[in-house]
Amino acid sequence: MAEQAIATPMTRRDLLGAGAGLFVFFGADLEAQEPVRLPGRQSGPSDFNAYLKIGADGRVTCLGGKVELGQGAMTELAMALAEELAVALDTVDVVLGDTDLCPFDMGTFGSMCTPLLVPAVRRAGAEAKAVLLAMTAERLNVPAGQLRAEAGIISESSHPSNAVTYGQLVEGKRIERRLANVPVKTGAFQVMGSSPRRRDGPDKVTGSARYAGDILLPGLLHAAILRPPAHGASLKSADTSEAEKIPGVRVVREGSLVAVLHERPDVARAAREKVRAEFDNPPAGPDDRTIFDHFLKIAPEPRVVAHSGDLAEGERLAAAVVEQTYLNSYVAHAPMETHSATAQVEDGKVTVWASSQAPFQVKNAVASALGVTAEKVRVISRYVGGGFGGKTEADQGVEAARLARLTGKPVQVVYSREEEFFYDRFRPAAVMKIRAGLANGKIVLWDGQVYGAGEREADPFYEIPHRRIASVGGWQGGNPPGMHPFSVGAWRAPSVNSNTFARESHIDLLAAKAAMDPLAFRLNNLANGRIRRVLETAAREFGWTPAGTPSGRGFGMACGVYSNACNATIAEVAVNRATGAIQVKRVLMALDEGMVVNPDGMRQQAEGSVMMGLGYSLGEEIRFRNGEVLSNNFDSYRIPRFSWLPKIQIVLLDNPDTPALGGGEPPIISMGAALANAVFDAVGARVLQLPMTPERVKAALAQS
Amino acid sequence: MERSVSFTLNGQSTTVKTDDERMLLWVLRSDLGLTGTKFGCGEGLCGACTVIVEDEALRSCATPLKQVAGKRVLTIEGIGQHGLHAIQRAFLSHQAFQCGYCTPGMILSAYALLLKTPHPTREQVARHMEDNLCRCGAHPRILDAIQEAAGAAKAGA
Where are chain B's structural domains? Answer: 2-79, 86-154
The distance of A467 to chain B (nearest Cα, Å) reads 37
Q: Residues 6 or more apart from A588 whose CB is under 8 A from it?
A: A538, A541, A542, A569, A570, A571, A648, A649, A650, A651
B93, closest residue in chain A (CA to CA) = A197
Conformation bin of residue A499: beta by default, left when phi > 0, alpha when psi is -120 to 50: alpha
DSSP state of A488: B
Q: Does domain B86-154 have CATH number 2.40.10.340?
A: no
The interface pTM score, or ipTM, of the predicted complex is 0.97
pLDDT of residue A224: 98
Closest CA to A359 of A95, A116, A99: A99
Q: Does B140 touch chain A (CB under 8 A)?
A: yes
The distance of A622 to chain B (nearest Cα, Å) reads 16
With a cut of 80, say whether residue B155 has pLDDT above it.
Answer: no
Q: How far is CA B157 from CA A2, A531, B128, B145, B149, in A?
A: 41, 47, 22, 14, 9
**Chain A neighbors of B75, CB-CB under 8 A:** 207
Distance in angstroms between the alpha carbons of the first and the last residue of chain B: 44
- B98/A71 touch (CB, cutoff 8 Å), yes or no: yes
B66 contacts B5 by C-beta, under 8 angstroms? yes
Which SS3 state, helix, strand or coil, does residue A263 take? coil
Lowest mean pLDDT among A113-117, A121-125, B27-31, B120-124: A113-117
The distance of A120 to chain B (nearest Cα, Å) reads 24
pLDDT of residue A44: 77
- A642/B130 touch (CB, cutoff 8 Å), yes or no: yes
Give residue-wise pLDDT tens across range A180-223.
Answer: 999 999 999 999 999 999 999 999 999 999 999 999 999 999 99
The distance of A164 to chain B (nearest Cα, Å) reads 35
The partner residue sitting opposite B76, judged by closest CB among A72, A207, A645, is A207
Neighbouring-strand partners of residue A353:
A342, A380
The alpha carbon of residue A621 and the mean position of all alpha carbons in its chain are separated, in whole angstroms, by 19
pLDDT of residue B154: 57
A262, closest residue in chain B (CA to CA) = B30
Closest CA to A633 of B106, B98, B133: B133
Q: Does B156 touch chain A (CB under 8 A)?
A: no
pLDDT of residue A43: 64
Give residue-wise pLDDT tens across range A229-271.
Answer: 999 999 999 999 999 999 999 999 999 899 999 999 999 999 9
- Name the H helices within chain B: 24-26, 76-79, 86-93, 103-116, 122-129, 139-154
> Where would I find the beta strands (DSSP E) of A334-441?
340-346, 349-354, 377-380, 411-414, 430-439
- A264/B39 touch (CB, cutoff 8 Å), yes or no: no
Query: What backbone torsions phi and psi does residue A441 show, to the nearest 5 degrees?
Result: 75, 5
A553 contacts A660 by C-beta, under 8 angstroms? no
Closest CA to B142 of A645, A71, A591, A668: A645
- B137/A417 touch (CB, cutoff 8 Å), yes or no: no
Which of residues 52 through 81 in chain B touch A, CB cutoff 8 A?
75-77, 80
Write out the H or E segment, with its range, that includes residue A64: strand A60-64
pTM over 0.80: yes
Distance in angstroms between the alpha carbons of the first and the last residue of chain A: 68
Q: Which fold has domain B2-79?
A: Ubiquitin-like (UB roll) (3.10.20)
- B133/A263 touch (CB, cutoff 8 Å), yes or no: no
pLDDT of residue A40: 42
Closest CA to A638 of A669, A665, A611: A611
Neighbouring-strand partners of residue B83:
B81
Give the per-residue SS3 of A577-636. Answer: CCCCCEEEEEEEEEEECCCCCCHHHHHHHHHHHHHHHHHHHHCCCCCEECCEECCCCCCC
A123 vs A35: CA distance, rounded Å: 19
Please state which architecture CATH assigns to domain A212-280+339-414.
2-Layer Sandwich (3.30)
Lowest mean pLDDT among A137-141, B42-46, B79-83, B91-95: B79-83
Neighbouring-strand partners of residue A327:
A431, A689
- A386/B101 touch (CB, cutoff 8 Å), yes or no: yes
Domain ranges of chain A: 2-206, 212-280+339-414, 291-330+426-703
pLDDT under 70: residue ranges of chain A: 1-43
Conformation bin of residue A329: beta by default, left when phi > 0, alpha when psi is -120 to 50: beta
Q: Does B94 touch chain A (CB under 8 A)?
A: no
A132 contacts A48 by C-beta, under 8 angstroms? no
A2-206 in CATH: which number?
Answer: 3.30.365.10
Q: What mean pLDDT comes out for the span B50-69?
A: 98
Q: Which fold has domain A291-330+426-703?
A: Aldehyde Oxidoreductase; domain 4 (3.30.365)
Number of inter-chain CB pairs under 8 A, A vs B = 178
* DSSP string over B11-52: TEEEEEEEETTSBHHHIIIIIS--TTSPPS-SSSSS-TTEEE
Q: Do domains A212-280+339-414 and A291-330+426-703 have the same CATH topology?
A: yes
**Chain B neighbors of A646, CB-CB under 8 A:** none
pLDDT of residue A282: 86
